[in-house]
Amino acid sequence: MNAFLATVRRDLLLALRRKSEVLTAVFFFVIVTSLFPLGIGPEPGLLKKIAPGILWVAALLATLLGLPRLFAADHSDGTLEQMALSPSPLGLLVAGKILAHWLLCGLPLVLLAPVLGLQFDLDASTLGILTLALLLGTPLLSLIGAIGAALTLGLRGGGVLLALLVLPLYIPALIFGAGAVEAHIAGLGAGGHLSLLAAMLALAVFFAPWATTAAVRIALE
Amino acid sequence: MRQSIIQWFRFGSPQSFYPLAGRMIPWFWAAAAAFGIAGLWLSFFVAPTDAQQGEGYRIIFVHVPASWMSMFIYLVMAFWAGLGLALNTRVSGMMAQALAPTGALMAALSLWTGALWGKPMWGAWWVWDARLTSELILFFLYLGFMALQAAIDDPRRADKAGAILALVGVVNIPIIYFSVKWWNTLHQGSTINMNKAPSMAHTMLWGMLLMALCFWMYTIAVALVRVRAIILERERHTDWVKHAVE
């Protein structure tokens, strides 16, 4: 457990010394969501209807933007190999890296989403559901994305390939995440969607670090 | 018992699998041709015209088998990939790699024929129906698998990385399918309900089954041809390949 926390701390420290990288993904999120009204038109009714989908797709893309960073630097300077050789299980260290990635790339999105939701004229309770859905959904995105990041480690055209691998797997999170907000707006209650999102998160917390570790080991061979 | 296990593992080596595949290929081609001729004859000359859909419904004799195969091939591919990962047999990874293009082809064929069928029947090339959407996502998964394998130069790493992706995909396919299905029911009322299709005439069902068998045999034959090519390419430095090609 110490190794886990040490990895989280190390990754956070490294990222905070290069703040611009983290902030890029966050600003990307802000800019992309602000582009949609400009493209579609400022009609409040329409914007309110499409807001959950826009915010979720933008969150998906922003998470994707941060994924190559998850292992690339540690892979190129050999840290990842040292981690694989270290006495603490690699799976634990990988899980720590994923958690750090979520804290850096996922959590800011969750915190920003209510502010951006205001642009789309969402009311307070809807913003709450949106934040809750993103809180459950963004760790899922980091976990699934980590598998793709480990698989594409050190490959030609890794970034584009990563998008091709990971985006189809993101679809359930998108459907239930945006669906939760839409169901709430429609007055159906978001409970079912949020439960399914939480169930997928539980499944991913168990399996994804394991699959990621296997992929990291393959990349290191 | 022990003997038979060893026998099976023998074909895990490319050298012994290569001639075996070569011997099997003509049989599967013949079976594909036989089933195909019978199926096409039944579906175009024997099966009656549909009362509601006219002649256009005959697309399903290609469409349905292609959809079945696209899903089935992914499972088979994941099976071989998992086997290769667990037992470290080289031919397993090659089989997975050989199946992927055919799977993608079947998915594309299924989408294409579905669009051709949808235009006269529904009045639209594409609707966001649950089945159409999940078939499209399946097509993306195939593309991802092939792109990943193509991006990795070392074939052993390509096999293993592809295997993990295929297994992750297999776990995700039911989740994707059901999420798309529920999403669909949430978003739009059931404007099109494919589940309540009128019950089919027996000849139609037979035509479809024969065509499915034809597609199945074709898939095996073409996968074996492809796996032989992959074996030759990967084992080109060995002596037996030099003799085999001569």
Residues 6+ apart with CB under 8 A from A16: A22
Q: What is the tens place of the pLDDT at every residue in B43-52?
A: 888 777 776 6
Residues of chain B positioned with their CB less than 8 A from the CB of A156 = 151
* Tokens encoding A146: 């980590």
Mean pLDDT for chain A overall: 89
Q: Do A164 and B168 touch (CB under 8 A)?
A: no
Q: What is the tens place of the pLDDT at every residue in A10-31?
A: 989 988 888 888 888 889 999 9
Q: What is the tens place of the pLDDT at every residue in B156-185?
A: 888 899 999 999 988 888 888 787 777 766
Confidence (pLDDT) at A65: 87
Confidence (pLDDT) at B192: 45
Report the number of distinct structural domains present in chain A.
Answer: 1
Confidence (pLDDT) at A30: 92
Confidence (pLDDT) at B189: 42
Q: Which domain holds residue A19?
A: 2-220
Q: Do B161 and A218 touch (CB under 8 A)?
A: yes
* Tokens encoding B95: 């089989």
Residues of chain B positioned with their CB less than 8 A from the CB of A196 = 179
Q: Do A165 and B151 touch (CB under 8 A)?
A: no
Identify the band that residue B191 occupies on the pLDDT scale cut at 50, 70 and 90: very low
Which of B157, B167, B187 is the best mutation test for A, with the most CBs of A within 10 A?
A: B157
More confident residue, B236 or B198: B236
Q: What is the mean pLDDT of residues A75-89?
A: 87
> Left if phi > 0, otherwise alpha if psi is -120 to 50, otherwise beta: which for A37?
alpha
Measuring CA to CA, how many Å separate A170 from each of A61, A111, A173, B68? 10, 21, 5, 24
Q: What is the tens place of the pLDDT at every residue in B16-38?
A: 888 888 888 999 999 999 999 99
DSSP state of B236: T
pLDDT at residue B197 greater than cutoff 80: no
Name which of A189, A141, A187, A7 is nearest A86 in CA terms: A7
Write the ipTM: 0.85
Q: What is the tens place of the pLDDT at every residue in B50-103?
A: 766 777 778 888 888 998 899 899 999 999 999 988 888 888 889 999 999 999
Name which of A200, A55, A202, A190 is nearest A129 in CA terms: A190
Name which of A134, A100, A121 is nearest A6 in CA terms: A100
* A124 in contact with chain B, both atoms CB, cutoff 8 A: no
